[in-house]
Amino acid sequence: MINQVYRLVSARQFEVTYKDRSLQSDYVVVRPEYLSICAADQRYYTGTRGKEAMSAKLPMALIHEGIGKVVFDRSGKFKIGTRVVMIPNTPTEVDEYCAENYLRSSKFRSSGYDGFMQDYVFLEADRLVELPEDINPKVAAFTELITIATHSITRFEAKAHKRRDVLGVWGDGNLGYITSLLLKKKYPNSKIIIFGKNQYKLDHFSFVDEAYQIDEIPEDLLIDHAFEAVGGRGSEAAINQIIDHIYPEGSIAIMGVSEYPIQLNSRMVLEKGITIIGSSRSGRKDFVDTVELMKEFPDIVDYLTTLIGSVQSITTIGEIIEAFEKDLTVSWGKTVLAWNI
């Protein structure tokens, strides 16, 4: 069959490519239903990802957050019509000590490999996780982003010391919202504090114990552990502020992506014996755990509807561009694409 792939060829420019795909294979074929734009896609779309990365990775189809329906599965593992979340990481080997998302050999969709902006996506069966029938598909669209928080909290649980009286999250955006929400669910007796730049965004975090604007943090406030969900230029200030407010021997999970190396107050990292936990992307286990969590606690999905910024129907390349441009102008929530192309 001929599959249409919608690739970014240079900043703000998409082209359709036609790829001949055989159905005589073990791939499961999924028709994308709802996709969602990640900050990483915007760095490619706008060209801010940097000249070197742009020329190394383009042309490629963007988007690594999305759900769809199975339209073909030779193995019969999935019934036709099953709604699934697609896992963008594609490992090519297994390592006893290194998770699939940290293996340098893994391929990650929309970071050098075609993402989900295609008429049909061909995936190995283990790159799909079945979703509950009744899940809100516009929230499920950004399940991948939820798995980022799941993955980071799992690493924190394994690597940080066990006092969890006060946990701080820096970043009053999408990832900060999801991370604080999952932390509150997992550690109901811990004090969860959100630190952000904008009062109108902090007002959305109704489930946290305390919220502070970053220029109004009491000097004597101390946290046991922290999660950084800022990224970009703001990462540096956020991580250094965390270093100032963390109790000795605490851990800092860094999730925000920055294009440039940032400067850390390394002297205080040493003096306080701080553990820094880098956390990037996610793997199958994080998707399975996240879907189970959403099944067990439907209120999590209810809270996450707050993050549906806008839903754009996509029927043409022009509408893809409109959706990316509109996403750049909104300051709260995720842009969900109803994939009708």
Ligand X SMILES: O=C(CO)[C@H](O)[C@H](O)COP(=O)(O)O
Per-residue binder mask for Zn ion (CB under 5 A), 7-46, x = binder:
-------------------------------x-x------
Q: Is 227 in the site for ligand NDP (CB under 6 A)?
A: no
Residue 238 interacts, among ligand NDP, ligand X, Zn ion, none and using kind-specific CB cut-offs from 5 to 8 Å, with: ligand NDP
Which of 54, 98, 125, 214 lies at the binding interface for ligand NDP (CB under 6 A)?
214
Q: Is 102 in the site for ligand X (CB under 6 A)?
A: no
Q: Is 276 in the site for ligand X (CB under 6 A)?
A: no
Cross-strand bridge partners of residue 159: none
Number of residues that bind ligand NDP (CB under 6 A): 32
Q: How far is the CB of 230 from ligand NDP (least distance, A)?
A: 4
The response to whether 38 counts as a known ligand-binding position is yes
- Residue in the block written with tokens 């020329």: 55
Q: Which string of b and e fits 73-90 if b means at least 16 CB within 10 Å?
A: beeeebeeebbbbbbbbb
Whole-number Cα distances in Å, 26 to 74, 90, 108, 167, 233: 7, 15, 20, 44, 43
Q: Is 174 in the site for ligand NDP (CB under 6 A)?
A: yes
The response to whether 144 counts as a known ligand-binding position is yes
Peptide bond into 132 cis (omega under 30): no
Q: Which string of b and e fits 188-206 if b means at least 16 CB within 10 Å?
A: eebbbbbbbbeeebbebbe
Residues 6+ apart with CB under 8 A from 59: 7, 8, 9, 15, 17
Q: How far is the CB of 308 from Zn ion (least distance, A)?
A: 17
Which of 121, 128, 141, 148 lies at the binding interface for ligand X (CB under 6 A)?
148
Q: Is 183 in the site for ligand NDP (CB under 6 A)?
A: no
Are the C-beta atoms of 58 and 95 separated by less than 8 Å?
no
Span near ligand X by CB under 6 A; candidates 36-44, 116-124, 131-139, 179-187: 36-44
Q: Is 115 exposed, middle or buried (0-12, 13-18, 19+ CB in 10 A)?
A: buried
Which parts of this chain interact with ligand X (CB under 6 A)? 38, 40, 43, 64, 108, 111, 144, 148, 257, 281
Annotated binding site: 38, 64-65, 144
Which parts of this chain interact with ligand NDP (CB under 6 A)? 38-40, 145, 148, 170-176, 195-198, 201, 214, 229-232, 234, 237-238, 255-257, 279-281, 331
